[in-house]
Amino acid sequence: MHLPRHPYFMVTFMILANTVCHGIIILEEDLETPPEVLKTGSLETLTLDCPFVMEEKDIPEHLTVQWMYNGYDVNIYQWIPITDTKPQSLGPFKDRVNLEYEISSDPMYKHRALSLLNPTTELTGIYTCRVSSFEDDDKYLNRRVIIYSEPSEFKIQTEQINQTNVKITCEADNIFPEPEVYIYKNYNGELVQLEDTAEEKTWKSSNGNEGEGTYTIHAEVTIADEDLTGLTQFGCDLRIPETNVSFTDTLSYEPRITIVSYEDYEPESAPRNDLSGVSPHEAASTRSGSSCRCHFVVLLLFVSVLLATLSL
């Protein structure tokens, strides 16, 4: 095969060949990667990988791997493979990254991953890996991390606010991130969310840092006793968005007003002598005494009639 020797063609060919040889390929797509979900303090390290390949065997001179946090302006990690030195951790993550960690033995890829030390709630966010070189466009990969904390206190309770209404209150403290709140009743095995629930979520900063902290939750709803059909179970769910993590508390409540249907109504029977609670001997004595009095009256009437007859 003979290539044309026109200068314009040769320059174009060299550029294309150089681009192909130095191409960067990210091996995963953002949409294919679910968020990393973990409880605060549950791991010693959290590793976020940035799998990529280069279409050449030699390390490009200007190849750079960077990690950024919650946007492209906060660079927290940088590694330049050609220098054969350890990566650098920058900014607020200076002491939160394991710079010794190697995910591969290949010199071109060994420090591509970000290894976070003792991950806690303040490390929740979006981490972006950027792989760049002079010969190719920058390539990006996002990793989402959700680090949650369980509530230190969590309860649901009821309060009678008047003769006919009850208030259901759900409270939680020191939970992160901001949860979704649901108060419901268990109606014949079906969970029915109560409408008109009022919510108050308060952010509490920790260590004097507004960016670190937890939430305090207060939610309440009022319901009429007459809307309940007897013993009712109420529940409160706190759900961490974009995860399967939830916290639940329940209680049972007996309404003071019970609605009785016509079919269930039974009229009271006519009054009758009630000897319940009386011993058999006492009952027999009572009947015997009554019988004696009747015999005495009959005998008295017989005597009276007899005397009247004799007097004639």
Let me know: does 114 contact 129? Beta carbons within 8 Å.
yes
Q: What is the pTM of this model?
A: 0.72
DSSP 161-215: -SSSEEEEEEEEEEEBSPPEEEEEEEETTEEEEPSS-EEEEEEEEETTEEEEEEE
Distances (CA, A) of 76 to 46, 52, 66, 209, 260: 15, 19, 8, 19, 68
Residue 102 pLDDT: 96
Give yes or no for residue 149 having a pLDDT over 70.
yes
Residue 285 pLDDT: 47
Cα gap 244→39, rounded to integer Å? 12
31-47 pLDDT per residue, tens: 567 899 999 999 999 99
247 Cβ contact list (under 8 Å, min separation 6): 150, 151, 154, 172, 175, 179, 237, 238
Residue 16 pLDDT: 37
Residue 249 pLDDT: 97
Please, what is the average pLDDT of the chain?
80
87-139 pLDDT per residue, tens: 999 988 989 999 999 999 999 999 999 999 999 999 999 999 999 987 777 88
Residue 72 pLDDT: 82
Residue 292 pLDDT: 46
Give yes or no for residue 288 having a pLDDT over 60.
no
Residue 158 pLDDT: 96
Q: What is the mean pLDDT of residues 228-247?
A: 94
pLDDT confidence band for 219 (50 / 70 / 90): very high
Pairing type for strands 209-224 and 165-175 reads antiparallel
Provide the sign of the torsion angle of the four alpha carbons 54, 130, 107, 105, taken in this order.
negative
In this structure, which amino acid lies at residue 97?
V
Set out the domains of the chain in order of their start, with CATH numbers.
21-148 (2.60.40.10), 153-262 (2.60.40.10)
Residue 119 pLDDT: 96
Residue 54 pLDDT: 81
Phi/psi for 189 (5° steps) reads 85, -5
| Of the listed ranges 212-216, 219-223, 228-232, 271-275, the one predicted with least confidence | 271-275
153-203 pLDDT per residue, tens: 999 999 999 989 999 999 999 999 999 999 999 877 889 999 999 999 999
Tell me the percentage of the chain whose pLDDT exceeds 70: 72
Cα gap 96→119, rounded to integer Å? 8
Residue 312 pLDDT: 56
